[in-house]
Chains A and B, each alone.
Chain A
Amino acid sequence: MTDVSTIAETPRTAKSTVAGTPRRRRRSARLSPLLAAFVLVPFAIESIWVFWPALQGFWFSLTRWDGQTPPEFIGVDNYVELAGDATFRGALVNTVIWLVLFGGLSVVGGFGMALLLQRDRRGVGFYRAALFTPVVFSLVVTALVWRVFYQPDGLADTILRAVGLEQLIRPWLADPQTALYAVILPALWRQIGYVMVLFLAGLKAIDPALHEAARMDGANAWQRLWYVVIPQLKGVNAVVLSVIVIDSLRSFDIVWSLTRGGPYHSSELLSTYMYSAAFQSLRLGYASAIAVVIFVLALAVILGYLVRAFREEA
């Protein structure tokens, strides 16, 4: 086993190539084929199933294609059509609403729950487990659980009737006015426990001495939250924000299982519109253009995430 390539003794010195002794540098010139394979095989698999398809996706967005005949290049026509497509604009608005309501409320709810349940006291373990339970369900399971709830004469209607609000009863998922919100609610129900766990981990990492010091200086609970806790959670906030935006733009399962984007596209998101344009209308070029729009919306977050990761690796 003479074919040992250079070992990074510690991550610190590994950074600079000049740190090595001449002997080390000579060795680093020949990289063991095994190590090369360790990197190249996984990278090749990801290239085949992710990088190459992604590049193709951009190309397809410039074509007209039904999946049978070869794609035909039409320039930016798909994007021009998107600009005038009312369904697309509706889906874009719904996606923004989704981002704000689903994203915003799950952060507020998850953070609130984490603050309430951060201290170990009696019952807290049970409450945390209760809030976390839906996180392990698939979104389709979540959707079916809530479908029972929304069913005409289901739990929602029974409860409203019991408290004397029967005038509010409506076909929750079939009414264009309520469909989108009726889909957001189950998504939130599942997401809040997830965000709570992220914040609980962040809160746990805060040095208790900071709290003590702030208390000594006479800071009240709100001031401590605002000036001590939230600034200390900067790292977690960045992660939660990225997770939320990426999850929102990816949201598909729950809408697909509950309404398929209907009625009359009232709960249509970009992701569901892209899917039906591709696999139901068989407009593969047009659907690719929608996918590119989703990508552009996600780009800022992806870049932010990578810059953060890059700084940590450096």
Chain B
Amino acid sequence: MIRKLRTGTFHTGMVLLSLLWLGPVLWVILMSVRSFDDIAANGVGSLPHSFTLDTYRQAWTDGGELQALVNSLLVTVPSVLLSLGLAAIAAFALSRYRIPGRRTILLLMLAGNLLPPQILLIPVQKFSELTGLYDTLLALIAVQVGFGLGFYTFVLHGFMRDLPGEIQEAATIDGAGPAQIFARVMLPLTRPALAALGALSFTWIFNDLLWAITVLRTDDRMPVTPALLALQGQFVSSWSVIAAGTVIAAVPTVAVFLRFQRHFISGLAIGAVK
């Protein structure tokens, strides 16, 4: 009896809490399909009295979300691949070979990632102006790779260090050099960690605002996160268009999360349990 009561309380409480978390999201989705007149007449706090998908068309083409999504992917995909690739070779050399000063190098790289980005903003902007990269997607890719590298290297190092040494020795005896050992032996074994970091870094880079507005200026070069802010200025009182834009901006990361759910969670937990 008491047990039943406790289970009941638990589920009631948790359903209410879940509603608190999912409610605002559902509300925005509902709002994104309301017409302008409906919101003008009934207010943002009311339930829908209309249904339209024109809001999505407006956000997509008039609001420039399509271009912004393309920009986001042009930045995110190369950034993830490059930073994980570079981090993997660094982690491989540092964890499997006696590189002089390897521990210092590793910690220095990690320390770079822990720096508050504020200290880097002005110098990075000036440096990108100096190199002619300012206001290009290339600058954003470069800074995302440079800033993310330290953390990815640290995590991959921890993972590679714990792989058994016998496989590597066997490969060495068979005459394989570091390049082959890396590509044929270590990389396949590191796949779970790479998948976890890949899913995580995709959302981090895709969701970034600060670096984008620091090294980019032109509106139609902005990725989707800063573009969403601009959309808000463009459609000041068209709440349903802003809501539609918000949904569009959230879909890619939600898709990545759903597809790589297990990797994603284990990626977050990598640092936590040691």
A residues sitting closer than 8 Å to B (CB atoms) are 1, 3-11, 14, 17, 28, 31-32, 34-36, 38-39, 41-43, 45-46, 48-54, 56-58, 60, 67, 113, 116-117, 123, 126-127, 130-134, 136-141, 144-149, 151, 153-155, 157-158, 189, 193-194, 197-202, 204-205, 235-236, 239-240, 246, 249-250, 252-253, 256-257, 270-271, 274-275, 278-279, 284, 287-288, 290-292, 294-295, 298, 301-302, 305-306, 309-310, 312-314
- Measured CB to CB, the nearest residue on chain B to A278 is B122
Give the Cβ gap from A282 to chain B, nearest Cβ, in Å: 10
A306 to B109, CA, bound (A): 11
5 further contact pairs, Cβ within 8 A, besides A136-B254, A144-B28, A197-B268? A4-B177, A36-B99, A45-B149, A53-B123, A309-B110
Indicate the member of B87, B150, B154 with the most A CB atoms within 10 Å. Answer: B150
Interface of B is mostly: helix
| Contact with A148, one of B27, B122, B142, B272 (Cβ below 8 angstroms) | B27
Residue interface mask B8-33, A partner, CB < 8 A = 1: 00110010011001101101100100
> What are the residues of chain A within 8 A of B92 when measuring CB–CB?
38
| Contact with B178, one of A5, A8, A144, A151 (Cβ below 8 angstroms) | A5
Given A57-B119, A271-B118: A158 in contact with B45 (beta carbons within 8 A): yes
Q: Are B209 and A140 in contact (CB under 8 A)?
A: yes
- Cβ-based interface call for B206 (8 A): yes
- Cβ-based interface call for B175 (8 A): yes
B residues sitting closer than 8 Å to A (CB atoms) are 10-11, 14, 17-18, 21-22, 24-25, 27-28, 31, 43-46, 86-87, 89-90, 92-100, 102-103, 105-124, 126-127, 142-143, 145-147, 149-150, 153-154, 158, 161-162, 165, 168-169, 172, 175-180, 182, 203, 206-210, 214, 225-226, 228-229, 232, 239, 242-243, 245-246, 249-250, 253-254, 256-257, 264-265, 268-269, 271-274
| A–B complex contacts, Cβ < 8 Å, 7 sampled | A3-B177, A7-B165, A46-B109, A54-B123, A249-B116, A256-B229, A257-B229
A279 to B209, CA, bound (A): 15
Given A42-B87, A136-B257, A253-B209: A148 in contact with B232 (beta carbons within 8 A): no
A197 to B182, CA, bound (A): 32
| Contact with A137, one of B107, B207, B271 (Cβ below 8 angstroms) | B207
- Measured CB to CB, the nearest residue on chain A to B204 is A138
Q: Are A127 and B168 in contact (CB under 8 A)?
A: no
A35 to B22, CA, bound (A): 49
Q: Are B21 and A35 in contact (CB under 8 A)?
A: no
A149 to B45, CA, bound (A): 8
- Measured CB to CB, the nearest residue on chain A to B114 is A302
Give the Cβ gap from B9 to chain A, nearest Cβ, in Å: 11
Give the Cβ gap from B273 to chain A, nearest Cβ, in Å: 5
Give the Cβ gap from B66 to chain A, nearest Cβ, in Å: 17
> What are the residues of chain A within 8 A of B90 when measuring CB–CB?
38-39, 41-43
A49 to B124, CA, bound (A): 7
